[in-house]
Amino acid sequence: MKQQVLKKIDDLYEEMVELRRDFHMYPELSFEEKRTAQIVADYQRKLGLEVRENVGNGYGIVATLKGGKPGKTVAIRADFDALPIVEQNDVPYKSKNEGVMHACGHDAHTAVALGMSKAFVEVKDELEGNIVFIHQNSEEKDPGGAKSMVEDGALEGVDIIFATHMENYLPVDHIYYSHQYILGASDDFEITIKGFGGHAAFPHDCVDVIGIGAQLVSSIQQIMSRKVDPLKSGVVTIGSIHSGEKTNVIPEDLKIEGTVRTFDKDARQEIHDWLQSITKHTCEGFGAESEVVYHWGYPATLNDPEATEQLIQSAKDVLPEENILEMEPNMGAEDFSYFLEKIPGTYFFTGTANEEKGFIYPYHHPKWDIDERSLANGAKVMAAATIDYLKK
């Protein structure tokens, strides 16, 4: 059955390309993916799958393919939202929605899942178990769609879950995997400092928020180097500072915004606590008031070792073993982490880069595009892992 499904995916390659290009031409922002969701739901219904729409906090879809024989249940997750980016590619399938672009591969993820579903329908009577296709809304915008879909029962009865992400840092015909953390937790913060403004010539009559802010930024940078176990990775980055308009005026207030990336849960909490404490005491020491608004974002994406090993072994039926590569975790973030907090599963990267064809731009770049051979690769790797797991 495995070879039959893999061959069918190859036969469906052109259809997957057409689907991906259609989604690419009509991208939709997070929580606005009405057209995309309707196409997905209609496609899965025509295949005979049980389809549940509006799952979670948006246009999430759960489509279930029931096999002809009893067995376990595998879930395949594909996200389908786009980004607020003006596309710079000169291709026939360029975005027709001005200012919106599929610059992160979610169009491809959706095409991969649909291709898989059509291939598996042909062998459903032989299938030992079920396959649930989770088409997730709004990965790009906090709070995301994954958490709410989990809460709305998307994983009910599911034993294991697989997902892939298109990756232009990796050549086509390769995949990256990790037995452990693959992506970090992502949190954001906003610090507001309230001082007492006045004339720049008389700073002694003022509470200078810019001087205090400069001191605070320097102190915040010491959280990772002096307050967190050096064996626990993390990043604290200040992304913006806003205050004042004139050279001879000491402003009343200042805003600092930044992001925190971690893997370890304890380190994540420690950074939050130290950020609050350092801000409070630094500002009080100089006579200013402060407020910290901390936004807890997606948790770290932690792969299950057994599920990952299953994927690796299955991938050998699709790609040369030397093209199946282990990667170091990185500090990107993904709300697929919420699925992995509930059930075992693994998230991997499918190579899409092709330097000769100009597919070299990283995700979220206005010239992002992929070698579409990756569609078949991603679909076949997850299909092989699905079949092997159900037969195990």
Name the pairing type of β-strands 128-136 and 69-79.
Answer: parallel
Question: At residue 268, what are phi and psi to the nearest 5 degrees?
Answer: -60, -45
Q: What distance in Å separates the CA atoms of residue 180 and residue 189, rounded to the nearest whole number?
A: 27
Among residues 28, 64, 32, which one has the least CA distance to residue 45? 64
Q: Which pLDDT band, with edges at 50, 70 and 90, does 75 fall under?
A: very high
Q: Does 22 have pLDDT greater than 90?
A: yes
Residue 384 and residue 2 in contact, taking contact as beta carbons nearer than 8 Å: yes
Angle, CA of 317, 320 and 324, to the nearest 5°: 95
Look up tokens 């699925």; give the residue. Answer: 339
| DSSP notation for 205-236 | GSB-HHHHHHHHHHHHTHHHHHTS-TTS-EEE
Look up 139 and say whether it is catalytic.
yes
Q: pLDDT tens for residues 156-193?
A: 999 999 999 999 999 999 999 999 999 999 999 999 99
Of 33, 79, 81, 335, the active-site residue reads 81
Known binding positions: 104, 106, 140, 165, 364
Domain parsing of the chain, residue ranges: 2-183+298-391, 185-295
Helices (H) and strands (E) in the chain, counts: 11, 16
Q: What is the CATH number of domain 2-183+298-391?
A: 3.40.630.10
pLDDT at 316: 98
In this prediction, what percent of the chain has a pLDDT beyond 90? 99
Residue partners of 156: CB distance under 8 A and separation at least 6: none
Reduce the DSSP state of residue 15 to 3 states and report it: helix
Of 28, 79, 139, 264, the active-site residue reads 139
Q: pLDDT tens for residues 296-319?
A: 999 999 999 999 999 999 999 999
Q: What distance in Å separates the CA atoms of residue 256 and residue 241, rounded to the nearest whole number?
A: 5
Q: pLDDT tens for residues 234-291?
A: 999 999 999 999 999 999 999 999 999 999 999 999 999 999 999 999 999 999 999 9
Q: Which pLDDT band, with edges at 50, 70 and 90, does 59 fall under?
A: very high
Report residue 295 as tokens.
């936004």
Residue 362 DSSP class:
P
Known binding positions for Mn(2+): 104, 106, 140, 165, 364
Q: Which pLDDT band, with edges at 50, 70 and 90, does 392 fall under?
A: confident
Residue 116 and residue 133 in contact, taking contact as beta carbons nearer than 8 Å: yes
Residue partners of 322: CB distance under 8 A and separation at least 6: none
Look up tokens 């001087």; give the residue. Answer: 211
Cis peptide before 143 (omega within 30 of 0): yes
- Angle, to 10 degrees, between the axis of helix 106-121 and the axis of helix 373-391? 50
Reduce the DSSP state of residue 25 to 3 states and report it: helix
Q: Does 204 have pLDDT greater than 90?
A: yes
Q: What is the CATH number of domain 185-295?
A: 3.30.70.360
pLDDT at 313: 97
Q: What's the rounded mean pLDDT across residues 80-86?
A: 98
